[in-house]
Structure 1
Amino acid sequence: MRYWEALLISWQNMGRNGLSIPFVIGSQEFLPDSYELQSVAELLEDIVQTERTRVCISLCHEISALILKPIGDQLPNNGFFPTHNGSHQGHVFVINLTELPDDMGLISEVLTERFEYEISHGLFSKRETGSYQKFNAADILFIKETFLQYELTSDTRTL
């Protein structure tokens, strides 16, 4: 299981909606040193290439942020599967976000640019306050417990 799958599934199992892209990217800080850190583009490519988990990009109204969340076979009516390298893909679904293009490469560019400041400044967690902040103790505990629960090792992170 990939680190991002473990986080998204654990978060959803706690009754929560999804995690922001900066949160998922920042969580890599708590992986063993043997892990090669992913960029936003590499994360999205990894999601597209992973067969097990279908992920949705949507807007979380609670924190006014784009989030990633696992979805099953029941797809919402108001979204689309962006193309990947000109072909259909069925692993990343975008819900009702007119600001995102219909191609994964372009989505990667948009989201990389959108979150560049936050990620480069270590601001990974967006709360109801409306701004991204450094991880707090609860965030760190959730990440560490999730990685421990899923026994993540170096061979579960790489493509």
Structure 2
Amino acid sequence: MGNKMKQNKYWEILLKKHRDKGKDGLTIPFIIGSQNYLPNNSYKQNISELIYDIVSSNLFEICIRFCMGTNTFIAEIRKERNVCYFPKINNNEQNKLSVGIYHKNDFGESIKELIENLIEKFQNPIDNKTYSAEPNTNERTAKWNKFSAEDKIFIKECFK
């Protein structure tokens, strides 16, 4: 009896369905917050566990890049045109998680440094349960909000 959630990880489902809608990626807080809508799931991944899970995935490559639309970083199924580098894991090469090349100085050479920087950028919105990024063009940053009704519908549809 194949449980669909076991075959595809929640973040793979979200990113794929988001791409199917013709959209780019999702923020790390959005992905983390979506776990609150998983059926029968008491355990929730944190940023570090999510990143290590992505690195060990075998479905597709994920790219973390800056999104001009939301004024923050998103994770997306990598597009051909994304110019990226691959942070090393324990000094070894990996090819499942890439980062926009222009942000190498922001995120570092290793998965460990990447995680530390993602936690620094995104732990506060996650702790505040403000998972959804709204563009704040004046400040050139994201304004973090609770999930909208539209966000909740999208997430629940993904996990059906």
Q: Structure 2: how far apart are the matches of 1:137 and 1:15?
A: 20
Residue 128 of structure 1 deviates from its aligned partner by 2.5
TM-score between both structures, scaled by the size of structure 2: 0.87
TM-score between both structures, scaled by the size of structure 1: 0.87
**Which residue pairs with 1:143 in the alignment?**
155
Is the CA contact 2:63–2:84 (under 8 Å) kept in the aligned structure 1?
no
Residue 32 of structure 1 deviates from its aligned partner by 2.2
1:71-112 deviation line (CA, Å, top 9, x unaligned) = 26x363x32011011100000011121311010011111111
Is the CA contact 2:28–2:75 (under 8 Å) kept in the aligned structure 1?
yes
Q: Does 1:83 align with 2:51?
A: no
| From 24, 27, 37, the counterpart of 1:17 | 24
The one-letter code of the counterpart of 1:84 is I
**SS state at 2:107 partner:** coil
Aligned residues: 146
**Which residue pairs with 1:55 in the alignment?**
62
Write out the 4+ residue segments of structure 1 that deviate beyond 4 Å after TM superposition: none
**Unmatched 5+ stretches in structure 2:** 1-7, 137-141
| From 119, 124, 128, the counterpart of 2:131 | 124
Q: Structure 2: how far apart are the matches of 1:17 and 1:34?
A: 26
Q: Percent identity?
A: 32
